[in-house]
Amino acid sequence: MAPITAVYEISGPDPALRAELVAVEQSHELPTEVAPANAVRDSLAHVRTVVERPGQPALVTVDYPADLAGGELGQLLVLLLGNVSLQDGVRLVDVTLPASLIEALPGPRLGIAGIRALTGAPEGALLATALKPVGMTVDQLATLAAEVAAGGLHVVKEDQGLANQPWAPFADRVPRLAEAVRRANPNTAYLPVVNGPAAGFADQVKLARDAGAHGVLVMPGIAGFGALSHAAELFPGGIVLAHPSFLGGFTAAASHGIAPDVLFGTLLRLAGADATIFPSWAGRFSLTQAQCLAIADAARRPLNGLPPTLPTPGGGMSIERAPELLAAYGPDTLFLIGGDLHRGNNPRRAAERLVAAAAAARPVKRP
Amino acid sequence: MAPITAVYEISGPDPALRAELVAVEQSHELPTEVAPANAVRDSLAHVRTVVERPGQPALVTVDYPADLAGGELGQLLVLLLGNVSLQDGVRLVDVTLPASLIEALPGPRLGIAGIRALTGAPEGALLATALKPVGMTVDQLATLAAEVAAGGLHVVKEDQGLANQPWAPFADRVPRLAEAVRRANPNTAYLPVVNGPAAGFADQVKLARDAGAHGVLVMPGIAGFGALSHAAELFPGGIVLAHPSFLGGFTAAASHGIAPDVLFGTLLRLAGADATIFPSWAGRFSLTQAQCLAIADAARRPLNGLPPTLPTPGGGMSIERAPELLAAYGPDTLFLIGGDLHRGNNPRRAAERLVAAAAAARPVKRP
């Protein structure tokens, strides 16, 4: 079977030696000379290439025997960066998996086509907002949700700041908001955030499902990467939207962690995200345009028949810049806009303006 | 109610402005002027102090209304660093919680006293090893487990590299290893690693429990922070040992993320870890002695009556340096040694040497 291949950027002196240490750390985590012969033969990782680049980190390619992942996403993550995440100077920048492993991993169930079918939008950009701020009552949130749904947004998700606070407890809030959105626009998907204790995760997802929500928002950095596919199993036909909260340790600095396209694109797609939120350029966060377009590409590109994940740029988007951003991202995008929809104190009208702005966007031809 | 207070190090220009942005990002995530008055009054975070320090990051203290966490660990993490984790230049370095929130969070069930009772070791340092490398058969692992248990180790945990690979599948491996350890030493705790798909988490923990294991190893960076207390609920009386795999994005660089004592000490203790593994100085990783002793202190210090978590330094420990390290950490420590126990090809004898070395350790008096 073809190996699992990971590419790392390694900063600092002697990258060839450090590459060998990464290969051992991430497979045997034991000096090779004391491992049994059968294990050395079958399960030890190997450094394939070390490319030194003046003024840049070295590019190191490591082959892992595919069986090391045991066909499981969690173990794939342990393998790719588990312990090495604790070391500065090593960054995971690319991953290639054998087809048999991709088939064993969850992947998106709905993907882009499923979200388009559910929201009655066969083409064009898709538009979303986040219900916030925390501290609003259920009545206030229901009014806001109905307004933006009536304004034509395809997805109304809850802000990750909503949980089970006294102002709008989960069990009170979710049925009310599902009803408000359904009445306002039958083509708008409502996605509550699920972030309670793990023992109650299934109950929360089922409550959302039975209340008439259209899926859930999950934070894999907190609930775990497996929570994405678990939610999909519990909520057949529901959208699983991944939120990057508490994942930023991996992407905030260039010298370690994981390249954003690998984390928010490839890995969350393999984990089962139908759509993946990431902090876009032109907002409050620091990823570059190139990094953001690479995330979108990793989410959508052909990958062994796996459904594509809908890239969902957010984090300070504006109506004004929607045409420019959607032109760059292309139509298979869920454009997530928050605070800017609240300006002017008429969220329905703001949503309508966003719908009009998106309709005016024309994709940029890219070579 | 007293607020949740977080202290951040903020690097770069204009820390006072950035502090305000952090407070808004982590609570309302919306321009304050467009939030409803009741939310601004009840749920907006406030910057308490900004202390600029020449040549060092500014120290910023933010007060969050305690209700923002909704009494849940997951939402506390969203609050403390969720979105801001995506920004370089902001590092969480201290957390103070109101007593009522600490009481609502899981915390350790066994803690240090429970682990001592389970392993029949009322005093002195506790000793552990990891079964590895992946690629060994069940027979090989059972032999190794029995040897190190007979040698007197208190805890024999599985390496995080073991999962459900073909060489030693979980369901075959766990009962065999539990039996091997029990026969070799009734006071040795055997902790299998649980890292399968989330939908099967409960089944894996129950299999471990019913097979006669003494707890489980959980990786909160992959399985989610809630998996720790979920495991404790499913396995009454079992030890929940937290492993730092895939959490290193938060600690690998000093300019962002979370201080190691807050992450591996305070937060994992609140989440329910009975013992917390972290990469110690004098090994393969890069935390300093001061950082490691701070982790141990955060794990053990008085915290509103919460049981202390057992600090578990590992990551390249040696028998030779065990006395020095245990003298520094003090006796309420689980000293985790891996590869060095395999040298000389007599793990039982090596375990006995480690037991003797630990017995010789005398705590250093610290001021």
* Domain endpoint, select from B88, B104, B120: B104
Q: Identify the helix (H) or strand (E) that includes residue A62.
A: strand A56-64
Contacts of A153 (CB under 8 A, 6+ apart): A127, A128, A129, A185, A188, A351, A354, A355
Q: Give B165's contacts in chain A (Cβ within 8 Å).
A: 43, 67-70, 75
- Tokens linked to A92: 């995971």
The token duo for B247 is 């959490």
Whether residue B156 contacts residue B188, with contact meaning beta carbons closer than 8 Å, is answered with yes
Determine whether the interchain pair A219/B78 forms a contact, defined as Cβ–Cβ distance below 8 Å.
yes
Which pLDDT score is estimated for B364? 58
- CA dist B221 and A84 (Å) reads 13
Q: Tell if the CB–CB gap between A342 and B34 is shorter than 8 Å.
A: yes
Judgement on whether residues B177 and B315 belong to the same structural domain of the protein: yes
**B86 with B68, same domain?**
yes
Which residues of chain A have a CB within 8 Å of the CB of B317? none
**Nearest Cα residue in chain B from A132:** B28
Going by the DSSP 8-state scheme, the letter that residue B82 receives in this structure is: T
- Chain-wide mean pLDDT for chain A? 96
Note whether A135 contacts B70, CB cutoff 8 Å.
no
Provide, as residue numbers in chain A, all residues whose Cβ is less than 8 Å from the Cβ of B246.
Answer: 77-78, 81-82, 85
Instruction: Show the tokens assigned to B45.
Output: 């975070």
Nearest to A134 among B28, B164, B222 (CB): B28
Instruction: Please give the Cα distance from A81 to A21 (Å, whole number).
Output: 13
DSSP A167: T
Contact B193, B165 (CB under 8 A): no
pLDDT of residue B367: 47
Strand partners, B218: B242
Does residue A333 belong to any structural domain of this protein? Answer: yes
State yes or no: pLDDT of A48 exceeds 60.
yes
Cross-strand partners of B337: B129
Q: Rounded mean pLDDT of A305-329?
A: 96
> Residue B361: what pLDDT?
79
- Cα–Cα dist B12/B211, whole Å: 54
> Would you give the distance in Å from CA A81 to the centre of its chain?
18
Backbone torsion region of residue A285, taken as left when φ is above 0, otherwise alpha when ψ lies between -120 and 50, otherwise beta: beta
Distance CA B234, CA A86 (A): 29
CATH, residue A100: 3.30.70.150
Dig out the tokens for B4 from the structure. 């949740």
CA pair distance A317, A354, nearest whole angstrom: 11
- Rounded to whole angstroms, what are the CA distances from B103 to B110, B303, B304? 16, 10, 8
Inter-chain touch A256–B249, beta carbons under 8 Å: yes
Counting one residue from A and one from B, how many pairs have CB atoms under 8 Å apart?
349
For residue B196, which phi and psi values (nearest 5 degrees)? -80, -175
Q: Do the chains contact at A223 and B74, CB–CB below 8 Å? A: yes
Domain identity same for B74 and B156? no
Do A65 and A40 form a contact (C-beta atoms < 8 A)? Answer: no
**pLDDT band at residue A364 under the 50/70/90 scheme:** low
State the virtual CA torsion across B356, B358, B361, B366 in degrees, nearest 10: 180
Residues A17 and A141 in one domain: no
What would the 3-class secondary structure string for B207-271 be? HHHHCCCCEEEECHHHHCCHHHHHHHHHCCCCEEEECCCCCHHHCCCCCCEECHHHHHHHHHHHH
Residue A182 is assigned to a structural domain of this protein: yes
CA B232 to chain centre: 14
Residue B352 lies in a domain: yes
> How much is the average pLDDT of A261-275?
98
Report the CATH number at residue B218.
3.20.20.110
Whether B198 and A224 lie within 8 Å, measured CB to CB = yes
- Phi, psi for residue B81 in degrees, rounded to 5: -155, 5
* Average pLDDT for A294-304: 98
Say what the pLDDT of residue A367 is.
Answer: 47
Q: How many domains does chain B have?
A: 2
pLDDT per position as a tens digit, B245-272: 999 888 888 889 999 999 999 999 999 9
Instruction: State whether B313 and B328 are in the same domain.
Output: yes
> Chain B: nearest CA to A365, how far in angstroms?
30
What residues of chain B lie within 8 A of the CB of A256, using their CB?
248-249, 252-253
Is the same domain home to A137 and A241?
A: yes
Report the C-alpha gap between B129 and B112 in whole angstroms.
Answer: 18
Contact list, B245 vs chain A (CB under 8 Å): 78, 82-83, 85
Smallest Cβ–Cβ distance between A78 and the set B88, B246, B251 belongs to B246
Domain C-terminal end among B45, B76, B104: B104
**Interchain contact, A34 vs B339, CB within 8 Å:** yes
Radius of gyration of chain A (CA): 21
Q: What is the pLDDT of residue A142?
A: 98
Which residues of chain B have a pLDDT value below 50? 367
Establish if B163 belongs to a structural domain: yes
Other CB atoms closer than 10 Å to residue A107's CB: what's the count?
24
- Main-chain phi, psi angles of A155, to 5 degrees: -135, 130
Determine the Cα–Cα distance for residues B56 and A65; give it in Å rounded to an integer: 45
Q: Which residue of A has its CA nearest to B169?
A: A70
The Cα A188–Cα A128 span in angstroms is 9
Shortest distance, CA B123 to any CA of chain A (angstroms): 30
Residues A186 and A304 placed together within one structural domain of the fold: yes
* Whole-number Å distance between alpha carbons of A202 and B15: 42
Quick one: which of B197, B266, B261, B209 has its CA closest to B233? B209
Q: Give the separation between CA B337 and CA B316, rounded to whole angstroms.
A: 7
Q: Write out pLDDT tens, residues A66-87.
A: 999 999 999 999 999 999 998 8
Give yes or no: residues B122 and B236 share one domain.
yes
Asked if A345's CB is within 8 angstroms of B74's CB, the reply is: no
CB neighbourhood size of B318 (10 A): 17
Q: Which of B56, B87, B104 is the last residue of a domain?
A: B104
Q: Among partner residues A28, A225, A342, which is closest to B132 by beta-carbon distance? A: A28
Q: With the C-alpha atoms ordered B118, B119, B123, B128, is the resulting torsion angle positive or negative?
A: negative
Assigned domain for B365 exists: no
Pairing of strands B46-53, B56-64: antiparallel
ipTM score assigned to the predicted complex: 0.96
Contact B72 A137 (CB under 8 A): no
Beta bridge partners of A47: A62
Give the nearest partner residue to A29 out of B87, B224, B338, using CB atoms. B338
How many angstroms separate the CA atoms of B65 and A162, rounded? 14
DSSP A320-361: TTHHHHHHHH-SS-EEEE-GGGGTTS-HHHHHHHHHHHHHT-
Phi, psi of A349 (to 5 degrees): -65, -40
Q: How many residues does chain B have?
A: 367
**B97 and B130 part of one domain:** no
On whether both A160 and A256 belong to a single domain, the answer is: yes
**Is the residue at A340 inside a domain?**
yes
What is chain A's length? 367
Contact A223 B219 (CB under 8 A): no
- For residues A180-207, average pLDDT: 98
- Among A81, A86, A286, pick the best mutation site for testing chain B contact (most B Cβ within 10 A): A86
Model pLDDT, residue B1: 82
Segment A232-261 mean pLDDT: 94
Q: What is the pLDDT of residues B84-110, one digit of tens each?
A: 998 889 999 999 999 999 999 999 999
Determine what percent of chain A is predicted with pLDDT higher than 90: 92
CA distance A183 to A150: 9
Of B42, B79, B248, the CB nearest to A85: B248
Residue of B26, B72, B75 to mutate, testing the A interface (most A Cβ within 10 Å of its Cβ): B75
Both B51 and B181 in one domain: the answer is no
In angstroms, the separation between the Cα of residue B196 and the nearest Cα of chain A is 6
CA distance A361 to chain B (A): 26
Q: Is residue B149 part of a domain?
A: yes
pLDDT of A74 reads 97
- Whether residue A121 is found in the same domain as residue A178: yes
CA pair distance B185, A16, nearest whole angstrom: 43
Q: Is the peptide bond before B133 cis (omega within 30 degrees of 0)?
A: yes
**Residue A366 within any structural domain of the chain:** no
Domain that holds residue A214: 111-359
- Tokens standing for A83? 């312990």
